[in-house]
Structure 1
Amino acid sequence: MSSVFQTYFQLGFFHIFNLQAYDHLVFLLALCAPYVLSDWRRVVALVTSFTVGHSITLALATLNVVQYSPALIEKLIPVTILITCIVNIVQAGRANTRPISAPTRREPLVLTLPNLLAASFGLIHGLGFSSYLRELLGKQSKPVLELLSFNLGVEVGQLLIVGLILLLGFLVLRGFDAVRRDWVLITSGAALGIALVLLIG
């Protein structure tokens, strides 16, 4: 059993933590773009919302409870990136423009629009994850352990990616004494361009 868990955990981890999963990586970049290390509580809430969404559809699709069109999901994933980037860019003009070294006010964690969007988009990304997992499982009917370990592997990989994005933002903003708005516009603009290529490709 431990061998099965380890195998599918690693499969889940490297399914998200590699350059071939660039669509999911770009989404995570867009999702985290407005935040810095000092916002880690808000980022945890945001990523948890995304996790809840994609865990639901990953389980339902893998267990054949829901059916879907893989081609449609491939188009919807870049749409989630586009929407996330547009929200970031629109809100950038109202964002805090102080240098990253300036203290920020700690806000309570509440059910916000970004969290709701993250959960909704997680439903779509979960279907994308399930396509790969279903290919691995073949005709296996009750892959409970495999599903759990794969999902945990995806989450660990995802959290590592988010941490690296926040660290990169911290280093760039500190090093260039820039403002958060510039980081949001640059990263969201780059993610938006990639999403457009994915969408029309």
Structure 2
Amino acid sequence: MSEFWVYFQIGLHHVLDIQAYDHVLFLMALVIPFTFKDWKKIILSVTLFTLGHTTALVFSVYKILGVKASFIEFLIPITILLTAIYNLASIGKSNKKGKINWVFLITLFFGIIHGFGFSNYFNTLLGGSSNSKLVPLLEFALGIEAAQLSVVLAVLVLAYIVQTVFKYSRRDWILVGSAFIVGVVLPMIIESVIWNQ
């Protein structure tokens, strides 16, 4: 098996790991307000998230910046919660260009937070000099992007089915989906180890 495929699969598994569903939850929260016609915004959002994720890994791998793991593990569910709450708060409001740009910047920042959450494990996977770490990191990022796009596609298909076959309004889809995410992520925040430090 080629080295590319190894790191690509690690990236895929990182997103699709059923035991670490926080990544999927964030993607769900990110995509719930959109439909297929918003594909450009979706691809830009997901790519910015991957860019942030990869930037954090670069910072960590090259020892530019490190963040305490328990703090990041606390911030990850906070990013999911804030995204779901934003969905609930912005239902029915117009998407002005400035507001969309702000959302894209926040998505990039949230990607950095999520990237630091995986950086310790990724650093243990990589050995050798710092020169040999960039290519595996990029291969890993491609795996993440492929997995994220598959999750996004699944959420969009589910949204389409719910809204066309079961005749739920877009508003109801966003309300129920975002409320579900809030319900799942709140216990993650409450049970965080950061409260015991």
TM-score tier, shorter chain, comes to 0.7 to 0.9
Contact 1:95/1:180 (CA < 8 Å) preserved in 2?
no
Q: Which runs of 5+ in 1 are unaligned?
A: 97-106
Q: 2:110 aligns with which of 88, 106, 121?
A: 121
Q: Which residue of 2 aligns with 1:104?
A: none
- Rounded Cα–Cα distance in structure 1 between residues aligned with 2:137 and 2:45: 23
Q: 2:185 aligns with which of 175, 186, 195?
A: 195
Please give the residue correspondences for 1:62-141 in structure 2 after superposition, counting only pairs within 5 Å. 62-94=61-93, 112-138=101-127, 141=130
- Rounded Cα–Cα distance in structure 1 between residues aligned with 2:94 and 2:171: 6
> Which whole-Å deviations, capped at 9, do the CAs of 1:64-115 have from their partners, x for residues lacking one?
221111111000000101111111001114379xxxxxxxxxx989952221
Q: 1:171 aligns with which of 148, 161, 175?
A: 161
Bigger drift between 80-89 and 126-135 goes to 126-135
Please give the residue correspondences for 1:4-19 in structure 2 after superposition, counting only pairs within 5 Å. 4-19=3-18
**Regions of 4+ moved over 6 Å:** 107-110
- Rounded Cα–Cα distance in structure 2 between residues aligned with 1:193 and 1:91: 19
**One-letter identity of the residue aligned with 2:153:** G
Task: Give secondary structure in 1 for the equivalent of 2:172.
Answer: helix
Q: Which residue of 1 aligns with 2:48?
A: 49
Please give the residue correspondences for 1:10-29 in structure 2 after superposition, counting only pairs within 5 Å. 10-29=9-28
Q: Which runs of 5+ in 2 are unaligned?
A: 192-197
TM-score (normalizing by structure 2): 0.88
Query: Sequence identity of aligned pairs in percent?
Result: 39
**One-letter identity of the residue aligned with 2:9:** Q
Q: Which residue of 2 aligns with 1:103?
A: none
Task: Give secondary structure in 1 for the equivalent of 2:63.
Answer: coil
What is the deviation of 1:180?
0.8
- Rounded Cα–Cα distance in structure 2 between residues aligned with 1:21 and 1:85: 18
Q: Which residue of 1 aligns with 2:194?
A: none
> Which whole-Å deviations, capped at 9, do the CAs of 1:92-142 have from their partners, x for residues lacking one?
14379xxxxxxxxxx989952221211111110111122221122256543
> RMSD in angstroms over aligned alpha carbons?
2.2
